[in-house]
């Protein structure tokens, strides 16, 4: 999340964490570009009016760098021109402030569904099934409940079957 209104950013961070999302928050444009350029994120929430560098410039720069992470623009300016510019610059969706947290969560879920490997709440590989909603991992008749980081690690494995993942990648993605 790249958002300079600290009170809003902190409130959203709390809500997202309560909904089992891991969030990094930065408040300045250049920091946002640095973080987002790492390419390790699943989604970017991007404010438009930011100190140091505006959100549309960040978005254009990311797309020029071939970073295709989905972006939801959070804009206080509901002017049509900003939204059109944002969508043209490679944004996937936008929300005009003030928005309800329910709507934000719904749009995050919608973008997740659009990604290539969408499988809903259930991820399976051979006899393993991970339910992301209940955070339960099942194998035949056995079911265990996982912690949040365990769910995220299993999700990475199940979405990338038969691939070897480096410790560094796991650290970046999950921690
Ligand atoms: Ca702002």
Distance 24 CA to ligand 1 centre (A): 17
pTM reported for the whole predicted model: 0.72
For position 80, what pLDDT does the model report?
Answer: 75
What was the pLDDT predicted at 173?
82
- Å from CA of 85 to ligand 1 middle: 17
50 CA to middle of ligand 1, Å?
A: 5
19 Cα: distance to centroid of ligand 1 (angstroms)? 24
**pLDDT score of 36:** 95
First to last CA, the chain: 16
Whole-number Å distance between alpha carbons of 102 and 104 = 5
Distance between CA atoms of 73 and 156, rounded to whole angstroms? 26
| pLDDT grade for 132, boundaries at 50, 70 and 90 | confident
Model confidence pLDDT, tens digit, residues 135-170: 899 999 999 999 888 988 998 899 888 989 898 888
């Amino acid at each position: 999340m790249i958002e300079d209104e600290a009170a809003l950013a902190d409130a959203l961070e709390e809500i997202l964490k309560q909904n089992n999302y891991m969030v990094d928050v930065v408040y300045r444009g250049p920091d946002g570009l640095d973080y987002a350029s790492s390419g390790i994120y699943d989604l970017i929430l991007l404010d438009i009016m930011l100190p140091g560098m505006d959100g549309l410039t960040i978005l254009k720069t990311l797309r020029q760098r071939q970073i295709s992470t989905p972006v939801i623009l959070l804009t206080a300016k509901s002017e049509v021109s900003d939204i059109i510019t944002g969508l043209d610059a490679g944004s996937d969706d936008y929300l005009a402030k003030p928005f309800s947290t329910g709507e934000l969560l719904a749009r995050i879920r919608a973008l997740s569904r659009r990604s290539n490997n969408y499988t809903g709440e259930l991820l399976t590989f051979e006899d393993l099934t991970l339910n992301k909603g209940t955070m339960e991992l099942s194998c035949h008749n056995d079911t265990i409940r996982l912690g949040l980081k365990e769910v995220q690690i299993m999700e990475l494995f199940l979405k990338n079957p038969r691939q070897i993942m480096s410790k560094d990648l796991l650290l970046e993605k999950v921690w």
